């Protein structure tokens, strides 16, 4: 499976990208969208909302089920992906381009709590057994 | 886990497999939405061999069925004709929903759900022992079933089974015929035209592969569920079960209370004043309706009017729809609220089916 090494990951299957301007972009992983199947609905937190790391903040729904999405890091939501409301299938097409929202982190140190690609790979392997 | 004769074929086609009531079955072969649209617009096929054909043979089969099921088998006049019915317990609850095919006066075939097949067989045998001990009841686990559905489904079947066109083109809906080793019925669970073909296990793989080569899309349980929901067809275990009666499950049309027959469950049903009814719901706000979500009155979210029994996303309507068991005091056209993750979303009560023969009815 494609698990890019420049991204960080959560156990709850979010991917996290630290941008050059210090903001953080996040979405759900290829593995998560595969488990869920065809996406039909997403609900993303509004810009301006303050999130705590680990907080339930978004919902993605596929034909099969609804899944909660958790904030990978604390901070303020600065922008959301406007495309996903009308085209949630973009998550299935390319989970790494179909970001959900960008966050201005309040404590960048929290990034250290996240998994790197090889740790995330191990989580996937353990779930497969 | 139990497997059908096509299990390896599904795996070779990269199906995502799931445990469906103890059966290892395909959920989808890549995209459940694509499979759904193929069946609405062209042709697709399901392996439904996990369902069970049960043959009832012997003199007096019809009389036995008059007592066993809630619909009236006396409606079956022409050989090959099929009837959809519920089998009830003495309390009027639904043991299963099934189709009965009339093959001859001494041979009827029932097709029952996979998850209920074992309890169905013991129930049917127990009733047989009491009412008609001379009848022979046989589980036909030696047969496979492939449902070919969609506007072009029949033509595709005719293309791959030589001679089948002449034998089946005059079949009307809910009619069937034996043709060579195939039992072909013009029935289905999608709201589209098509055939359900029952055949010896050893021939299933060949038919499946021939249909696939003719352009019939394999489809999994995921698409099967969205298609049947759009078509407004009940799913056993969700829309009705042993604790609900057919009159409160949108199945009154399958219950014959007029004839003199004394079928199991009739006594209770006659006494029942239906307080609930099955309605269609169309979600007006953004979101997805799911089973067990609570439904409340439009202006008062404290006033419960019922619960969703089957909900989901309708690929044809591109919005969310549901079947819901609601208080008989609500009416079609009313707006209600559905509680989804602590938010009250607006939905409208609509008549179902939602979709028939590729067209929206909403």
Tens-binned pLDDT, residue by residue, of chain B (362 aa): 999 999 999 999 999 999 999 999 999 999 999 999 999 999 999 999 999 999 999 999 999 999 999 999 999 999 999 999 999 999 999 999 999 999 999 999 999 999 999 999 999 999 999 999 999 999 999 999 999 999 999 999 999 999 999 999 999 999 999 999 999 999 999 999 999 999 999 999 999 999 999 999 999 999 999 999 999 999 999 999 999 999 999 999 999 999 999 999 999 999 988 999 999 999 999 999 999 999 999 888 788 999 999 999 999 999 999 999 999 989 999 999 999 988 999 999 999 999 999 999 99
The answer as to whether A6 is a domain residue is: no
The reply to whether residue B288 touches residue A61, judged by beta carbons under 8 angstroms, is yes
- As to burial, measured by CB atoms within 10 angstroms (0-12 exposed, 13-18 middle, 19+ buried), residue B301 is middle
For A31, A100, A113, the CA distances from A95, given in Å and listed in that order, are 9, 10, 22
The answer as to whether A74 is a domain residue is: yes
3-state helix vs strand vs coil in chain A, percent to 5: 20, 35, 45
Query: pTM for the full model?
Result: 0.94
Strands B194-200 and B176-179: what pairing? unpaired
Strands B143-149 and B82-88: what pairing? unpaired
Please tell me the predicted confidence (pLDDT) of residue B298. Answer: 87
Q: Which residue of B has its CA nearest to A66?
A: B288
The answer as to whether A81 is a domain residue is: yes
* Distance, CA of A117 to CA of A94 (rounded, Å): 18
The answer as to whether A66 is a domain residue is: yes
Instruction: Compute the Cα dihedral for B240, B246, B251, B256 and give only its sign.
Output: positive
The reply to whether residue B313 touches residue A66, judged by beta carbons under 8 angstroms, is no
- Distance from CA of residue B338 to its chain's centroid? 26
The answer as to whether A71 is a domain residue is: yes
- The CATH number of residue A36's host domain is 2.40.50.100
Tally of domains in chain A: 1
* Distance, CA of B293 to CA of B290 (rounded, Å): 6
The reply to whether residue B286 touches residue A41, judged by beta carbons under 8 angstroms, is yes
Enumerate the residues of chain A whose CB falls inside 8 A of the CB of residue B32: 37-38, 63-64
The answer as to whether A113 is a domain residue is: yes
Instruction: Among B32, B315, B341, select the one facing A37 at the smallest CB separation.
Output: B32
Q: Which residue of A has its CA nearest to B321?
A: A63
Enumerate the residues of chain A whose CB falls inside 8 A of the CB of residue B29: none
pLDDT in tens, B307-352: 999 999 999 999 999 999 999 989 999 999 999 988 999 999 999 9
* Distance, CA of A25 to CA of B199 (rounded, Å): 54
* Distance, CA of A25 to CA of A77 (rounded, Å): 10
The answer as to whether A4 is a domain residue is: no
The reply to whether residue B313 touches residue A59, judged by beta carbons under 8 angstroms, is no
Rounded to two decimals, the ipTM of the complex is 0.84
Instruction: Specify whether the backbone of B333 is left (phi greater than 0), alpha (psi in -120 to 50) or beta.
Output: left
The reply to whether residue A63 touches residue B33, judged by beta carbons under 8 angstroms, is yes
Distance from CA of B33 to the nearest CA of A (A): 7
The answer as to whether A100 is a domain residue is: yes
Distance from CA of A42 to the nearest CA of B (A): 8
Q: Which residue of B has its CA nearest to A89?
A: B33
The reply to whether residue A63 touches residue B287, judged by beta carbons under 8 angstroms, is no
The half-sphere exposure of A122 on its side-chain side, counting CA atoms within 13 A, is 4
Enumerate the residues of chain A whose CB falls inside 8 A of the CB of residue B33: 38, 63, 89
The half-sphere exposure of A105 on its side-chain side, counting CA atoms within 13 A, is 21
Distance from CA of B32 to the nearest CA of A (A): 7
> Which residue, among B276, B274, B255, has the nearest Cα to B266 in the 3D structure?
B255
Please tell me the predicted confidence (pLDDT) of residue B291. Answer: 96
Instruction: Compute the Cα dihedral for B320, B93, B52, B14 and give only its sign.
Output: positive
Omega within 30 of 0 (cis) for the link into B353: yes
Distance from CA of A85 to the nearest CA of B (A): 9
Taking the CB of residue B253, how many other CB atoms lie within 10 A of it?
9
Distance from CA of A18 to the nearest CA of B (A): 30
* Distance, CA of B242 to CA of B120 (rounded, Å): 12
Distance from CA of A64 to the nearest CA of B (A): 7
pLDDT band at A56 (very low <50, low <70, confident <90, very high): very high
Average pLDDT score over chain A: 95
pLDDT band at A128 (very low <50, low <70, confident <90, very high): confident
Q: Which residue of A has its CA nearest to B31?
A: A38
- As to burial, measured by CB atoms within 10 angstroms (0-12 exposed, 13-18 middle, 19+ buried), residue B89 is middle
Measured CB to CB, residues of chain B less than 8 Å from chain A are: 16, 27-28, 31-33, 222, 226, 286-288, 290, 312-313, 315, 320, 341
* Distance, CA of B293 to CA of B276 (rounded, Å): 16
Mean pLDDT value of segment A80-96: 95
The reply to whether residue B287 touches residue A43, judged by beta carbons under 8 angstroms, is yes
Containing domain of residue A93, as a range?
12-127
């Amino acid at each position: 499976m494609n698990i890019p090494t420049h991204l960080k990951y959560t156990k709850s299957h979010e991917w996290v990208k630290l941008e050059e301007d210090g903001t953080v972009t996040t979405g759900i992983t290829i593995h998560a969208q595969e488990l869920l199947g065809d996406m039909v609905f997403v609900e993303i937190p509004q810009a301006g909302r303050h999130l705590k790391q680990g907080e339930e903040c978004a919902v993605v729904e596929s034909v099969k089920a609804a899944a909660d999405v958790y904030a990978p890091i604390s901070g303020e939501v600065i922008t959301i992906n406007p495309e996903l409301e009308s085209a949630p299938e973009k998550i299935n097409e390319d989970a790494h381009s179909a970001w959900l929202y960008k966050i201005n982190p309040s404590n960048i140190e929290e990034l250290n709590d996240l998994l790197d690609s090889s740790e995330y790979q191990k989580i996937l392997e353990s779930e497969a057994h | 886990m139990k497997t059908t004769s096509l299990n390896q074929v599904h795996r070779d086609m990269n199906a995502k497999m799931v445990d469906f009531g103890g059966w290892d079955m395909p959920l989808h072969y890549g995209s459940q939405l694509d499979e759904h649209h193929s069946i609405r617009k062209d042709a697709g096929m399901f392996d439904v061999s996990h369902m069970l054909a049960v043959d009832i043979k012997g003199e007096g089969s019809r009389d036995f069925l008059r007592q066993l099921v809630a619909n009236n088998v006396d409606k079956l006049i022409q050989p090959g004709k099929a009837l959809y019915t519920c089998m009830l317990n003495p309390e009027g609850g639904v043991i299963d929903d099934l189709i009965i095919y009339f093959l001859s006066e001494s041979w009827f075939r029932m097709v029952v759900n996979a998850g209920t097949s074992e309890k169905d067989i013991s129930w049917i045998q127990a009733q047989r022992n009491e009412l008609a001990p001379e009848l022979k009841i046989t589980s036909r686990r030696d047969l496979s079933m492939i449902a070919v559905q969609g506007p072009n489904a029949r033509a595709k079947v005719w293309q791959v089974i030589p001679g089948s066109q002449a034998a089946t083109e005059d079949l009307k809906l809910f009619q069937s015929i034996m043709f060579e080793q195939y039992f072909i019925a013009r029935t289905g669970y999608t709201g589209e035209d098509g055939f359900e073909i029952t055949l010896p296990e050893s021939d299933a793989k060949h038919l499946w592969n021939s249909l696939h080569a003719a352009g019939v899309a394999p489809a999994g349980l995921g698409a099967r569920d969205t298609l049947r929901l759009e078509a407004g067809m009940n799913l056993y275990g969700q829309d009705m079960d042993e604790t609900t009666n057919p009159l409160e499950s949108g199945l009154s049309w399958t219950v014959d209370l007029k004839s003199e027959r004394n079928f199991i469950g009739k006594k209770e049903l006659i006494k029942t004043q239906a307080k609930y009814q099955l309605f269609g719901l169309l979600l007006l706000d953004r979101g997805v309706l799911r089973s067990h979500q609570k439904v409340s009155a439009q202006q008062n979210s404290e006033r419960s009017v019922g619960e969703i029994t089957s909900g989901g996303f309708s690929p044809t309507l591109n919005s969310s729809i549901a079947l819901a068991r609601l208080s008989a005091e609500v009416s079609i056209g009313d707006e209600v609220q559905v509680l989804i993750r602590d938010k009250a979303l607006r939905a409208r009560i609509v008549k179902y089916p939602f979709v028939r023969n590729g067209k929206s009815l909403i």
